[in-house]
Amino acid sequence: MGCPLSVNKKGRKAQYSDNDIQNIGDKFMKVAIVGAAGRMGARLIQAVQESKNLQLSGATERPGHPQIGSDAGVLAGVGELGVQISDDLTAAMQDADVLIDFTFPEVTLKNMEICATLGKMIVSGSTGFTPEQKKQAEQYSQQIPVVLAPNMSVGVNACFKLLKEAANILGDDFDVEIVELHHNKKKDSPSGTAVRMGEVVADTLGRDYNQVAAYHREGMCGARTQDEIGMQTVRGGDIVGEHTVYFIGMGERIEISHRAMSRDMFARGAVRACQWLKDKDSGLYDMQDVLGLN
C-alpha cells in the first residue's frame, strides 16, 4: 500500500513519508469503512485522511456493487490510496483496528459479529434499532469496544445535554413536542436522533419513552395528555437533518433546535469516536461518552 494521504482544509493533499509513519508509530489507527462508495462513505474517507493519526486500510460495499475493485480514495476525491473496495468485510478488517459503519441495524449487527470474532473495535452511526437489536449490540460490546450513536454530530450531542438540563428545570409544567425533517431518501422514521431526544427528555422526567411517545394523531383522538411526547416527521428534498424540541407552557415556549448543513459533521464525529476508542476496554459507549458529557 502506498503512503497515506492527508487532505488539509484548503483541499491540498499532503503525503506522509514512510519515516513519518515510523516516527508516529502506534499513534496511527487503521480504519475500515463500510459503504465506501456512497455519499457518506466518501465523507468518512475524506475525514479519515484529514486526520493525522488515522489511516484508511479497508473499504467495503455490498456484493455486486459496480465499484467493487475500485480505489476508495479515487472515488472519494482524495487521490489514489491503494485501498480497493471489497465485498468481504472479514478480509477488509484483517489489517484494521476499527470499523466505521453507517448502514442499517440488520447490517450493523452482522458487522458487529464479525468485529467481535476478529477482536476489532467498531463505531456505528446507524439508526432505527429496536429494543431487541440494542440488546444484541450490548452483547457484542461485552467482547469489544463499541460506539453506537444515533448522531455523531458534536452539536447534536450538545443538544442532548441541553435537553436534559431544560427538562430538569421545566419539569411537568411544559408539554414536549419534537419535530424532525430529513431528505426524501431516509428509510427510518422517526429519526434515531429524534427518538434519542425523546428518550433524554422522558428519562429526565421519570417517564418511559416507549409508553409516552405519540407518533400519530388523527381525527377525534382526544385531548393531549400531560405525559405524552409528540413526535412529528417531515420528509422532502435533500434536507440533511433538522430537529426541534418544543417545551410549551402557558404563555411561553422554549425551542431547542439543531440544523445539519452537510454530512461532514457526522464524519468528523465518527473520526473523533475512533480516536477516543483507542485503548478503551470492551463496552457499549455513545457520543456523550466520547465528548465527556456523561
User: 216 an active-site residue?
Assistant: no
- Rounded CA gap, 251 and 78, in Å? 53
Residues 142-159: tens digit of each pLDDT: 999 999 998 899 999 999
- DSSP structure class, residue 39: H
Q: Which residues contact 248 (CB under 8 A, 6 or more apart)?
A: 174, 175, 176, 177
Domain count, the chain: 2
Q: Are residues 20 and 104 in the same domain?
A: yes
70: how many CB neighbours lie within 10 A of its CB?
A: 17
pLDDT, block means (10 residues), the chain with 294 residues: 36 37 58 96 96 95 96 96 97 97 96 98 93 96 96 93 97 98 94 95 97 94 95 96 97 97 92 95 95 88
Please tell me the predicted confidence (pLDDT) of residue 200.
Answer: 97
Helix axes 264-277, 39-50, angle to 10 degrees: 50
Residues 204, 141 share a domain: no
User: Which one is catalytic: 30, 120, 182, 243?
Assistant: 182
Say yes or no: 280 and 237 in one domain: no
Judged on CB neighbours under 10 Å (0-12, 13-18, 19+), 10 is exposed
Residue 186 annotated as catalytic? yes
Within this chain, do residues 130 and 203 fall inside the same structural domain, yes or no?
A: no
Examine the domain organization and report whether 198 and 69 are in the same domain: no
Mark whether 221 and 239 lie in a shared domain: yes
DSSP-assigned letters across all residues of 156-207:
HHHHHHHHHHHHHHHGGGSEEEEEEEE-TT--SSS-HHHHHHHHHHHHHTT-
* Judgement on whether residues 134 and 174 belong to the same structural domain of the protein: no
Q: Which CATH number belongs to the domain containing residue 284 in this structure?
A: 3.40.50.720
pLDDT digits (tens, 9 = 90+) for 250-272: 999 999 999 999 889 999 999 99
Whether residues 131 and 197 share a domain: the answer is no
The reply to whether 267 and 254 lie within a common domain is no
Residue with the three cell numbers 394523531: 217
pLDDT the model gives residue 241: 94
Assigned C-alpha cell, 194: 429524534
Contact between residue 25 and residue 55 where contact means Cβ atoms under 8 Å apart: no
pLDDT at 1 (0 to 100):
37
CATH number, position 212: 3.30.360.10
- pLDDT at residue 26, rounded to an integer: 55
Do both 244 and 267 map to the same domain?
no
Rg of the chain taking only CA atoms, in angstroms: 20
Looking at the structure, tell me whether residues 268 and 235 fall in a common domain.
Answer: no
> What does the alpha-carbon distance between residue 178 and residue 38 come to, in Å, rounded to a whole number?
29
Catalytic residue among 161, 164, 186, 278: 186
Whether residues 41 and 139 share a domain: the answer is yes
- Cell triple for residue 219? 381525527
Q: How many CB atoms lie within 10 A of CB 16?
A: 16
For residue 27, the model assigns a pLDDT of: 65
Range of the domain at 92: 5-148+263-290
